[in-house]
Amino acid sequence: MTNYETVDVDVLVIGAGGAGLRAAIETSRLGTRTALVCKSLLGKAHTVMAEGGMAAALSNVSEGDNWQVHFRDTILGGKFLNNWKMALNHAKEAPERTNELERWGAVFDRTKEGKIHQRAFGGHTHNRLAHVGDRTGLEMIRTLQDKGVHQGFDVFMECTVTHLFKADGRVVGALAYWREDGRFILFRAKATVLATGGVGKMYKVTSNSWEYTGDGHALALNAGVELLDSEFLQFHPTGMVWPPGVKGLLVTEAVRGEGGLLRNAEGKRFMEDYDAERMELSTRDIVSKAIYNEVKEGRGTEHGGVWLDISHKPADYIIKKLPSMYHQFKDLADVDITKKPMEIGPTMHYTMGGVRVDPDSCESSVGGLFACGEVAGGMHGANRLGGNSLSDLLVFGKRAGETAAEVAKGIASHAAISASEITAAQEALLKPFAAEGKETPYDVQFALQDVMQNQVGIMRNGDDLKAAIARFPELRERASKVRVEGSRIYNNGWHLSWDLQSMIDVAEVVARCALEREESRGAHTRLDFPDTDTGKWQKLNTVASKRADGTIEVHTQPKPKMPDEFWALVEKKPAK
């Protein structure tokens, strides 16, 4: 039996990106004692990498914009698979959340009239993205961070949650370790909010950081919660492809929003063959597949990409509107984007699927457990529109915080957590130190990334998916034997040994759901089922859970039906 410190709080928020910070601000505002736990330092979460902007129908630039059109764009972009109520809440509340962020100190770019400026983006009918150059995520996270430090919640930085504990069917606490020294910490909480982001690190080419190992997805699975539509992973059309060290690094969609053009190696604006109406500002699923196809048919660049060109715009305009991109290419690829095109290709970017939650309260099917932001499923359906993520974080971060605080207030005292479960969790975490296997966690992570990249990638087929699924018993076996060297002090290899367990479970969920859905829709493309099935599959969600023996179960369920009055909004083509 090992030692641990115990921290009692009303609400435990796991993850400190936009959603977690917004949730913690809300729970503290409502007077509940809150712990905000994050794997990295505060302010370094993935939100910081968001570039283009946050979508909100403020109608500062396009007068015709309103929540109804935003709702319609979101449903059309999500290929009708979105949870309609989440999309509705999001479209209605995004403007208020954006204005609120400004009142908390965010300094957005301005219109001539002195209002928040909004830029064009793929799939949005109107200029809708509030932005700060191409560093909007940094502005959001810093604003929330600086607001948050005066809210009274406690921040546990570089602290990783590994297990949730239940009592009487409710989530009542969590085990975590400090990265700095490996000590364990037990949180007892009346409500727990997952805000852990996505799963991109199971792919080789990704814009995601080391943190994106599907922790929240795995915690939910292990707590008996279902994951929704996990086959939908967004491959962002524009990641860097050269040089090798930066492969996968994000190139913001704002380049296209500001007028950037896509060309193949023959110099042709190939989007006219795929979406002649919207061209470069088509949705991400369509642009990614177009690029994939151009390269596959031999019209790609030397390094397997296509060209993205903004150099026809004035240099000072590019540097003002896309400063990070200008420096990123200049510093890392020796390319001056004011003069030359960028070489780009698809990169794994965002997790649409996730924890199944109530669209209003963000509560999961297990009492006391909430989810918001990227880790939650439903909001974006089969394909997320650029800019809808940052607004999602704030809208549902606030909602999750609100209900979590309410639930926590209704609970008089902390439930007891089984001592044997706590001991077992710690033993599982420490096991790799005693393992005698030859492989390190990195070896197994690379093997997993190979499987996912090659067999569960942007283009899928049944045989590949079955072959990938057949690999999981072996990967799991290898992961259970990995060897960890050194001490518990800031030991990245040890940290990965646990993240690996989460990644493998969630990767298997992705592969099995991808096999289950026998159609192509949004970000999920089956070469053996190339058509979008507007009959059967348009009405179905895939649902994954973990059986008691640890195996993954997948089935389908009818999606919630959208009421007629909202269908009317979707069917009505708005005036541009």
Partner 1 sequence: MSDTHAVTLRILRGEGAQVREVEYTVDVETGWVVLDAVLAVQAQQAPDLAVRWNCKAAKCGSCSAEVNGSPSLMCKTRLDDLDPGEPVVVHPIKAFPHVKDLVADVSWNYEVNKKITPFSPDENADFIYYQEDIDRVQEFRKCIECFMCQDVCQVLRNHDQHPNFYGPRFLVRVAGLEMHPMDKANRLEQIDQDGGIFLCNINKCCTTVCPEDIHITDNAIIPLKERVVDERYDPLKMLFRKLVGK
Question: Which of residues 66, 99, 532, 556 is near partner 1 by CB under 8 A?
Answer: 99
Q: Does 109 bind partner 1 (CB under 8 A)?
A: yes
Nearest CA-CA partner of 108 in 118, 93, 120 = 118
Residue 210, CA distances (Å) to 156, 201, 349 in order: 19, 6, 13
Q: Does 550 bind partner 1 (CB under 8 A)?
A: no
CB of 299 to partner 1, least distance (A): 19
Question: Which of residues 22, 97, 119, 147 is near partner 1 by CB under 8 A?
Answer: 147
> Which is the catalytic residue, given 179, 256, 384, 521?
256
CB of 361 to partner 1, least distance (A): 29
Nearest CA-CA partner of 517 in 471, 461, 449 = 461
Q: Which segment (2-10, 388-396, 489-497, 556-564) binds partner 1 by CB under 8 A?
A: 489-497
CB of 310 to partner 1, least distance (A): 18
Nearest CA-CA partner of 201 in 210, 190, 192 = 210
Q: Does 42 bind partner 1 (CB under 8 A)?
A: yes
H or E stretch covering 119: strand 118-119
Return the structure tokens found at 390: 């940052």
Q: Does 327 bind partner 1 (CB under 8 A)?
A: yes
236 is annotated as an active-site residue? yes
Nearest CA-CA partner of 6 in 187, 145, 205, 179 = 187
Q: Does 480 bind partner 1 (CB under 8 A)?
A: no
d(CA 566, CA 576): 19
Q: Which segment (36-44, 64-72, 229-237, 509-517) binds partner 1 by CB under 8 A?
A: 36-44
| Distant-in-sequence, close-in-space partners of 518: CB < 8 Å, separation ≥ 6 | 462, 526, 528, 529, 533, 537
Q: Does 14 bind partner 1 (CB under 8 A)?
A: no
Nearer to partner 1 by C-beta: 430 or 569?
430
Sign of CA dihedral 334, 138, 354, 149: positive
256 is annotated as an active-site residue? yes
Nearer to partner 1 by C-beta: 132 or 220?
132
Number of residues that bind partner 1 (CB under 8 A): 67
381 contacts 80 by C-beta, under 8 angstroms: yes
Nearest CA-CA partner of 100 in 157, 165, 22 = 22
Nearest CA-CA partner of 397 in 176, 166, 101 = 101
Q: Which segment (144-152, 165-173, 502-510, 538-546) binds partner 1 by CB under 8 A?
A: 144-152
Question: Which of residues 411, 490, 545, 574 is near partner 1 by CB under 8 A?
Answer: 490
d(CA 479, CA 443): 9
Question: Which of residues 4, 104, 274, 566 is near partner 1 by CB under 8 A?
Answer: 104
CB of 330 to partner 1, least distance (A): 11
How many other C-beta atoms lie within 10 A of the C-beta of residue 85?
Answer: 17
Nearer to partner 1 by C-beta: 291 or 496?
496
Q: State the burial class of residue 431 (Cβ atoms within 10 Å of its Cβ: 0-12, 13-18, 19+).
A: middle
Q: Does 114 bind partner 1 (CB under 8 A)?
A: yes
Q: Does 86 bind partner 1 (CB under 8 A)?
A: no
d(CA 210, CA 46): 10
Binding site for partner 1 (CB under 8 A): 40-46, 48-49, 99, 102-105, 107, 109-110, 112-115, 132-133, 135, 137-139, 142, 146-147, 149-150, 155, 157, 180, 209-211, 242-246, 249-250, 323-324, 327-328, 331-333, 440-442, 446, 484-487, 489-494, 496
Q: Looking at the annotation, which residues are catalytic?
A: 236, 256
